[in-house]
Structure 1
Amino acid sequence: MRKSKILVVLRHGEADFTFGNGTDFQRELNQNGVDQLSRIKKLFGKASIKLDKIIASASVRTTQTAEIMAAELDKDIIEYSGEIYEAESSILLDVISKVSDDVENLMIIGHNPGVSALVSSIADQGYLNMQPGMLVIIELSVSQWKHVGIGTGIVREVMQ
């Protein structure tokens, strides 16, 4: 019997819009975003999934999101990637395909529309528009990350 993997997809928490000289990449979480992620973290804790790796976009709001979600975890499991910033689902799939097969439970923290398209593609159950701070747990029917693709997983839980 094939061992399944777990992919957790999280859209960064709610962030303030930038005014003046700030860029989208530098946007920070607002208080609603921090509160929302604290609540999601508690809910996710009840799912009893021990994360082996977190790959997050290198933007400010996603690094803040990763820090909140991994506060009690070993920081060595977090990898920040500029490649994930505003990435399309095909790029996200490419990043996932390169993850070591020793990793059983992976979290990706990114941006829309890429994360919504990723979840919708893998689950192949129609489009799920992920709102800021929304987390989706997908059970994959693959034993190697390079095999993740269209229809290879089912949505086990959605948290918001």
Structure 2
Amino acid sequence: AGNRGFKFDLIVSSPAKRAKTTAKYFALGWKLEADQLNTNAWIYEASVKTLLKVVNELDDKFTSIALFGHNPGLTDLVNYLTDEYITNMPTCSAVIIEFPFDEWKLISGNTGNLVFFDYPKSGLD
């Protein structure tokens, strides 16, 4: 699980088996400690509004998080937070969005910049 030079302080995952298993795999690859992998039941089958609430309530001590969840919610969240339009993020997609804020509560619609989007079989490897 290479991180392509990106570093994450925290993983927040849906408690669903596949999402959590994938999150654990990446946590191991990124050499994160056990307390850097959290589950949040609100992520499971969540709407954009619910996912945004999860993000807005993150502790500001974390500067970079990885969110593991489900479609269509995550695809909708990416589209809401950026000026991009992705029709569907395939299974195990990776998206990185940068924000001009130091506080998670400030993140809202169209405040992010999509800097990375890849997925297995995309041909970008």
1:127 deviates by 3.5
Counterpart AA for 1:59: A
Letter matched to residue 50 of structure 1: K
Alignment gaps of 5+ in structure 1:
1-40
Q: Distance in 2 between matches of 1:73 and 1:126?
A: 31
> Which runs of structure 2 are paired with 1:44-123 in the superposition (5 Å)?
45-46=3-4, 48-71=5-28, 72-123=31-82
Give the superposition deviation at 1:128: 4.0
Radius of gyration: which is bigger?
A: 1
Q: Percent same amino acid among aligned pairs?
A: 31
Residue by residue, what CA displacement relative to the aligned partner does 1:55-112 show, whole Å, maximum 9, x if unpaired? 1000000110111110122111111111111111110100111111111001110000
Aligned CA RMSD, in angstroms, stands at 1.1
TM-score by length of 2: 0.88
Work out the CA distance in 1 between the residues paired with 2:68 and 2:36: 13
Query: Equivalent residue for 1:154?
Result: 113
Q: Equivalent residue for 1:136? A: 95
Q: Is the 8 A contact 1:142 1:152 kept in 2?
A: no
Which AA in structure 1 matches 2:58?
V
* Structure with higher RCO (Cα < 8 A, 6+ apart): 1
8 Å CA contact 1:119–1:128 kept in 2: the answer is: no
Which structure shows the higher strand fraction? 1
Distance between the aligned counterparts of 1:149 and 1:111, measured in 2? 20
For 1:101 and 1:81, locate their aligned partners in 2 and report how far apart those are by CA, in whole Å.
17
Instruction: Tell me the alpha carbon deviations over residues 100-125 of structure 1, each in whole angstroms, 9 at most, x when there is no partner.
Output: 11110011100000000000010122
Distance 2:52 2:46 in 1: 10
SS at structure 1 position matched to 2:80: helix
User: Structure 1-normalised TM-score?
Assistant: 0.70
CA distance in 1, matches of 2:13, 2:83: 23
Number of equivalent positions:
117
